[in-house]
Amino acid sequence: DQQVKQNSPSLSVQEGRISILNCDYTNSMFDYFLWYKKYPAEGPTFLISISSIKDKNEDGRFTVFLNKSAKHLSLHIVPSQPGDSAVYFCAASGTGRRALTFGSGTRLQVQP
Amino acid sequence: DTEVTQTPKHLVMGMTNKKSLKCEQHMGHRAMYWYKQKAKKPPELMFVYSYEKLSINESVPSRFSPECPNSSLLNLHLHALQPEDSALYLCASSQVSGQSSYEQYFGPGTRLTVT
Nearest-neighbour CA in chain A from B16: distance (Å): 26
Contact A18, A80 (CB under 8 A): yes
- For residue A48, the surrounding DSSP H or E stretch is strand A45-51
Tens-place pLDDT, residues A23-53: 999 999 899 999 999 998 789 999 999 999 9
pLDDT > 90? residue B107 = yes
Nearest-neighbour CA in chain A from B95: distance (Å): 10
What is the model's pLDDT at position B101?
A: 72
What is the model's pLDDT at position A17?
A: 98
Query: At CB < 8 Å, which residues of chain B contact A?
Result: 2, 4, 6, 31, 33, 41-45, 48, 50, 55-56, 88, 90, 92, 94, 96, 99, 101-109, 111
What is the model's pLDDT at position B108?
A: 95
Query: At CB < 8 Å, which residues of chain A contact B?
Result: 31-32, 34, 36, 41-46, 49, 51, 89, 93-105
What is the model's pLDDT at position A30?
A: 92
Residue in B101, B105, B108 closest to A98 by CB: B101
C-beta atoms of A100 and B43 within 8 A: yes
Tens-place pLDDT, residues B28-60: 999 999 999 998 899 999 999 999 999 999 999
pLDDT > 70? residue B99 = no
Q: What percent of chain A has pLDDT over 70?
A: 98
What is the model's pLDDT at position A8?
A: 95
Cα A73 to Cα A104: distance, rounded to the nearest angstrom: 14
pLDDT > 70? residue B2 = no
pLDDT > 70? residue B88 = yes
pLDDT > 80? residue A96 = no
| Reduced 3-state DSSP string for chain B | CCCEEEECCEEEECCCCEEEEEEEECCCCCEEEEEEECCCCCCEEEEEEECCEEEEECCCCCCEEEEEEECCEEEEEEECCCHHHCEEEEEEEECCCCCCCCCCEECCCEEEEEC
Tens-place pLDDT, residues B62-84: 999 999 999 999 999 999 999 99
pLDDT > 90? residue B100 = no
What is the model's pLDDT at position A40?
A: 83
Tens-place pLDDT, residues A50-76: 999 999 999 999 999 999 999 999 999
Q: Look at residue A19 and give its three-state secondary structure.
A: strand
In terms of phi and psi (left: phi > 0; alpha: psi -120 to 50; beta: otherwise), the region of A71 is: left
Q: What is the mean pLDDT of residues B81-107?
A: 89
Tens-place pLDDT, residues A76-89: 999 999 999 999 99
Tell me which residue of A6, A13, A33 sits closest to A78, measured CA to CA: A13
What is the model's pLDDT at position A108?
A: 98
Cα B88 to Cα B91: distance, rounded to the nearest angstrom: 10
